[in-house]
């Protein structure tokens, strides 16, 4: 098949960037979307032009490093599919594809389609963990977890941190990402001691990173390659309210980030 690509090219963080159009003939429908970009890049290199920079690593839909907005949809049109698992048979011969980086002020563009998602790491570092000293855990079965809760926690834990939720949200909100972690840990008995503190810290960090707010559009859930349910956001809201109401009971400096 033959495609036309409108690709966002941006040399570095300071470059204003622009769209460049490329022709991509002889594309096999069996290729993955990233393999198609590989082929385009090999041709660019042969011509002595700089290849299109795009993030990717595992190419099996789990590491979360890839992510391109394809024709207005993060990770492309297929539901529950990352960019690397999208195959060219999804498109028609002669299609024009517009490729843009995930856009959010909290995700500055590094180069071309590559963005900086370290804001997510900082949200986790602010409280997305359980402070369990390594080496001091009790027997794993001493803490039974109702299967329903374990399953719900797993649904939330499936998040791959790709940032498509932010990219799709009209407000560039990171609520689904943050809520998934708050939910996962809040649903497990191990996560209870830090539950209230965790949600307040993570929300504060999320805001500090410059993400927008949730207005319940549901775009995030629709593009999430792992189908993380919107219900997690309600769970975060609930916990946040509870945390606010239990404000007075909070110990000063409780549940910090380790032995600081």
Partner 1 sequence: MPTATAMSKGRATGETESFLSATVGKKVVMAATGLILFGFVIGHMLGNLQLYMGAEALNAYALFLRTFLHGGGIWIARTVLLASVVLHIWAMTSLTLVNRRARAVGYRQWKPRESTYASRTMRWSGVFLLAFIIYHLLHFTTGDAHPDFIPGDVYHNVVSGFQVVPVSIVYILATLCLALHLFHGSWSMLQTLGLNHPRYNRLRNVICVGLAALVVVGNLSFPVAVLTGLVR
Partner 2 sequence: MDLRSSIPDGPLEKKWDRHRFEMKLVNPANKRKFTVIVVGSGLAGAGAAASLGELGYNVKSFCYQDSPRRAHSIAAQGGINASKNYRNDGDSVYRLFYDTVKGGDFRSREGNVYRLAQVSGNIIDQCVALGVPFAREYGGLLDNRSFGGAQVSRTFYARGQTGQQLLLGAYQALERQVGAGKVEMFTRHEMQDLIVIDGHARGIVTRDLVTGEVRSHVADAVCLATGGYGNVFYLATYAKGCNATAIWRAYKKGAAFGNPCFTQIHPTCIPVTGDYQSKLTLMSESLRNDGRIWVPKKPADTRPPGDVPDAERDYYLERMYPSFGNLAPRDIASRAAKRVCDEGRGVGPGGKGVYLDFADAIQRLGRKSIEEKYGNLFEMYNRITDEDPYTVPMRIYPAMHYTMGGLWVDYNLMSTLPGLHVLGEANFSDHGANRLGASALMQGLADGYFIIPYTIGNYLASNKHGAVSADHPAVKDAEKAVAQRTQRLMDVRGTHSPTHFHRELGKVMWEHCGMARTEAGLKKALQRIPELRETFWNDVKVVGSGESLNQSLELAGRVADFLELGELMCLDALERRESCGGHFREEFQTPEGEALRDDEHFCHVAAWEYTGDGKKPTRNVEPLNFENVHLSVRSYK
- Residues in 221-250 that interact with partner 2 by CB under 8 A: none
In this chain, which of 68, 88, 104, 115 binds partner 1, going by CB under 8 A?
104
Q: Is 43 exposed, middle or buried (0-12, 13-18, 19+ CB in 10 A)?
A: middle
- Residues in 163-202 that interact with partner 2 by CB under 8 A: 184-185, 188, 190-191
Provide the edge-to-edge strand list for the sheet that holds 3-9. Answer: 18-24, 3-9, 96-100, 69-70, 73-74
Cβ count near 210 (within 10 Å):
13
Which partner from the list partner 2, partner 1, none does 46 bind, CB cut-off 5 to 8 Å by kind? partner 2
Q: Which is nearer to partner 2, 58 or 245 (CB)?
A: 58
In this chain, which of 19, 20, 23, 50 binds partner 2, going by CB under 8 A?
50
In this chain, which of 21, 23, 28, 92 binds partner 2, going by CB under 8 A?
28
**Binders of partner 2: how many residues, by CB under 8 A?**
85
Q: Is 42 exposed, middle or buried (0-12, 13-18, 19+ CB in 10 A)?
A: exposed
Q: Should residue 134 be labelled a site residue for partner 2 when binding is judged by CB under 8 A?
A: yes
Task: Please state, in angstroms and rounded to a whole number, the distance separating the CA atoms of residues 211 and 171.
Answer: 8
Cβ count near 171 (within 10 Å):
15
Copy the structure tokens of residue 74. Answer: 């993060």
Region binding partner 1 by CB under 8 A among candidate stretches 23-31, 48-56, 57-65, 110-118 = 110-118
CA dihedral in degrees (197, 203, 205, 210; nearest 10)? -170
DSSP secondary-structure letter at 139? P
Q: Should residue 233 be labelled a site residue for partner 1 when binding is judged by CB under 8 A?
A: yes
Instruction: Write the binding mask 138 to 177 for partner 1: x where contact by CB under 8 A, - elsewhere.
Output: ------------------------------x-xxxx----
Task: Please state, in angstroms and rounded to a whole number, the distance separating the CA atoms of residues 77 and 90.
Answer: 8
CA dihedral in degrees (59, 45, 164, 99; nearest 10)? -130
Which partner from the list partner 1, partner 2, none does 241 bind, CB cut-off 5 to 8 Å by kind? partner 1
Q: Should residue 258 be labelled a site residue for partner 2 when binding is judged by CB under 8 A?
A: yes
- Residues in 143-162 that interact with partner 2 by CB under 8 A: 143-147, 150-151, 153-154, 157-158, 160-161
The residue ranges that bind partner 1 (CB under 8 A) are: 6, 13, 19, 69, 71-73, 98, 100, 103-106, 110, 116, 118-119, 121-122, 125-127, 168, 170-173, 200-201, 203-219, 221-223, 229-231, 233-241, 244, 256-257
């Amino acid at each position: 098949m033959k495609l036309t690509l409108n690709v966002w090219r941006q040399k570095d963080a300071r470059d204003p960037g622009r769209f460049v159009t490329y022709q991509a003939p002889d594309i096999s429908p069996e290729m993955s979307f990233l393999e198609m970009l590989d082929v385009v890049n090999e041709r660019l290199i042969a011509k002595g032009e700089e290849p299109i920079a795009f993030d990717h690593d595992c190419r099996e839909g789990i590491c979360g490093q890839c992510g391109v907005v394809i024709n207005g949809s993060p990770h492309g049109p297929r539901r529950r599919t990352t960019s690397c698992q999208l195959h060219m048979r999804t498109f028609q011969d002669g299609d024009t594809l517009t490729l843009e980086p995930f856009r959010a002020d909290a995700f500055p563009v590094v180069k071309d389609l590559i963005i900086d998602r370290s804001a997510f790491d900082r949200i986790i570092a602010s409280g997305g963990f359980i402070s369990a000293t390594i080496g001091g855990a009790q027997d794993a079965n001493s803490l039974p977890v109702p299967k329903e809760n374990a399953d719900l926690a797993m649904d939330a834990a499936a998040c791959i941190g790709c940032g498509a939720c932010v990219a799709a949200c009209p407000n560039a909100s990171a609520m689904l990402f943050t809520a998934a972690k708050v939910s996962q840990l809040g649903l497990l008995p191990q996560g209870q001691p830090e539950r209230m503190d965790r949600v307040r810290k993570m929300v504060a960090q999320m805001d500090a990173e410059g993400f927008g707010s949730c207005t319940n559009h549901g775009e995030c859930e629709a593009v999430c390659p792992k189908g993380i349910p919107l219900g997690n956001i309600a769970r975060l809201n609930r916990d946040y309210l509870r945390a606010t109401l239990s404000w007075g009971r909070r110990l000063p400096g409780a549940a910090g980030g380790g032995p600081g």
